Each structure stands twice: as structure tokens, then as C-alpha cells.
Amino acid sequence: MKALGISYKNAPVSVREKFSLDEKKCSEIRRGLGPAVVLCTCNRTEIYFTSAAVGDAAALLSGISGTDSITEYLRTYEGESALRHLFRVACGIDSMILGEDEILRQVKSAYSEAAVNGSTDFELNTAFQAAMTCAKRVKTETELSKTPVSAATIAANEASKLGDSVNILMIGASGKIGSATLKNLLPHRNVHITQTARVHSAGTVQYDGVRTVPYDRRYEEADSADCIISATASPHFTVTAGKLKAALRTEKPRLLIDLAVPPDIERTVTEIVGVRLIGIDDLGELARHNNELRMTAAEQAELIINEELDGLRKRLAFHRFMPELDTVRAAASQLTFEELIYRLRDGLDGAQFEAVLDVMRGLE
């Protein structure tokens, strides 16, 4: 298996937003590469594939994203390094917020979309299923996700710390990240939430104590808000500096939190008196302390990944060996047991040969 892509580790949000792929573009990539899974989140856009050349995959990603040069941002993986990378991504070890739960759902969704459309093969199926199984083990057997920390939880915590009574305007509450943020806000007794809803939107959920207003009234609600959170999939700004400044009549501290890629909130809102903006990349800094506390659990997770990877390697190796089984069986039948042992001794390194002998001892 091979993998390539960009992530928060080597590309700022201004670059990552160019690689925010919709389903049509993901489908185009899968058709162009043969067996492939496309994973696209706020913090990464990656392609996992088996047949195409790495250079062809990079060129296709560059062309579809409309970006001429991605070499300085691109990371590539092949063979075992690609498998290990997938496992670390699925387990949340490679996430900006260490151990986040949301990434596993995103991996499942990307794999399911590819599988349903016939874009996977034995290796991709086996690798992704093993990675998801490993992620479940990490969640169950370590403390990494016992106290979930995600962009949604950090955003909710930051908003709730603003005072004894905090008015929050939530834009994009019907989306995955927006709804997760809203759910994380609800347990905080000091917050008063107003969510926006587009006309005829079927995705808006009504919660007790949460006001719902039309999306077009967002600027009217902005003046009374202490915090505005936006998490939509819109290609355009949901909050612009000019319209927000015109709408604000009360001068007071305000926190704006932008959870979208591409950004929902125009960066120049910070020029408005009292306005502070937190973007998706800023959440990584806010999560740093949490990540440090989770490092011990992450080390335990790496051990689980090693165990699960070993099992995956065996399954893939055996699958590749199956077409040769009859031929090898016939050849081995011409050898005495001692001759076979000597062949193994001469063809393996010391550790491998000792492992074979240990297996044979177990046959007694």
C-alpha cells in the first residue's frame, strides 16, 4: 500500500483549504488511481492506494486541487510505513489533538465510501479494517480517549470560560463538527445558546433551551453574543469583518471561534475593537497541554499498534503467498525434513531462524 497527502504538520490552513475536496473530487481521484481511499478532514487530505505510482497520485491531487506545486507540503509513505501511518491516523496518534475520537469516524466514512463504490481491493480492505480494529483496542485498553478532547470540546470549553453568563451564537450547528460543539456546550450551565438554521434545512436539531433563528439573521444576533462559533462547509465566509462591524452596537470583549476549513470567518474581524479570533490551527496550541498529559497513553497505544501491525503483515504476506502454495508444497515434498531446516537456516537471519525453531518446538 502507498499513501500521500498533506496535514496540519507541514501545511498551514491557508494551504490545506485548497485541498478541501468534496465527494465529486474524491470520486474523481478514486477513478483516476484505481483502488484508493481518500481521507479529507479539516487537518489532513490523504490518499491511500495500491496500484498507481506515487508520482501519478501526486499529479492527480495537484490537478484536482488546482495547486501547481505541492512538493514542499506533500508527505509520501510506501509499504509498511504507509500501513503504520494509517494505523496512527485511525488511532488519533497523528492528530493535532492527540487521541481525538472524531478521526476514527472520518476514517470509517472514507473507507466505507470507497468500498461502496468498488474502489477498494484486498489490501485496502484488510488494512483499513485492521486499522479500525486497532483504534477500538486503543480506545478500550488505554486512557487516550477516556476523556475525549477534540476541536469541539476545546471550542466549547473556551466559550464557557468567558463568564458567569455567556451568550453564544452557533452557526453551522447541523454539521458534524458544529453539532458536536453544540452538544459539548449543552452541559455548561452558564451558557445561553442561539443556533442559526437555513430555510428548509432538514439537518437542524432542536435542543431544549437552545433558540433557533434563521441564518440570515446572524448579524442581528451578533451584538448580544459574547461568543460566535462557526463550523460550516460553506466555500464563502459566514461572517465578514465589514458586516460584523456594522452590526455591533455594544462595545465589549467577544470571542469568535472558526472551526471550518476553508475558514468561515474573515480574519480581519480582529481589527474590530474587543474581538478575538481562534482558528482551527490555534486549537492545536490550546490542546498542547492536554497532549502532554496523554503521552503515556500514546506510548501504550503505539505498543498496541505494533501488535496489530504484526498480525496485518502476516495476513497480507499469506495472501500474497497463496498463489504459490501448490508449487512450494510440491517442491518441499522433494526435500527431507533436515534439508528443509538447512534451507531455512541459510535463507533467514538469526532472529528469523530462531523464531522458526521456536514454532517447531511448539509442535512437540
Among 71, 1, 20, 12, smallest CA distance to 284 is for 12
Note the pLDDT tens digit of each residue in 102-131.
899 999 999 999 999 999 999 999 999 999
pTM score: 0.68
pLDDT at residue 148, rounded to an integer:
52
Distance, CA of 308 to CA of 349 (rounded, Å): 23
Contact residues for 16 (Cβ-Cβ < 8 A; gap 6+)? 6, 7, 8, 42, 43, 44, 45, 261
Q: Which stretches in the chain have pLDDT values below 70?
A: 146-149, 200-203, 288-291, 293, 364
Distance, CA of 287 to CA of 100 (rounded, Å): 11
Query: Catalytic: 134?
Result: no
Distance, CA of 231 to CA of 212 (rounded, Å): 16
pLDDT at residue 164, rounded to an integer:
94
Distance, CA of 109 to CA of 65 (rounded, Å): 21
pLDDT at residue 160, rounded to an integer:
93
Distance, CA of 3 to CA of 77 (rounded, Å): 5
Neighbour-count burial for 19-38, b at 16+ CB within 10 Å, e otherwise: bbbeeebbbbbbebbebbbb
The DSSP bridge partners found for residue 277 are 256
Distance, CA of 89 to CA of 86 (rounded, Å): 5
**Termini Cα distance of the chain:** 38
Class of domain 151-284: alpha beta
Class of domain 2-139: alpha beta
Domain with CATH 3.40.50.720 in the chain: 151-284
Domain with CATH 3.30.460.30 in the chain: 2-139
Specify whether the CB–CB gap between 197 and 246 falls below 8 A. no
Active-site residue, from 26, 42, 91, 134? 42
Among 281, 269, 180, smallest CA distance to 228 is for 269
Q: Give the largest Cα separation in the chain, rounded.
A: 92
Residue 270, phi-psi category: left (phi > 0), alpha (psi -120 to 50), beta (remainder): alpha
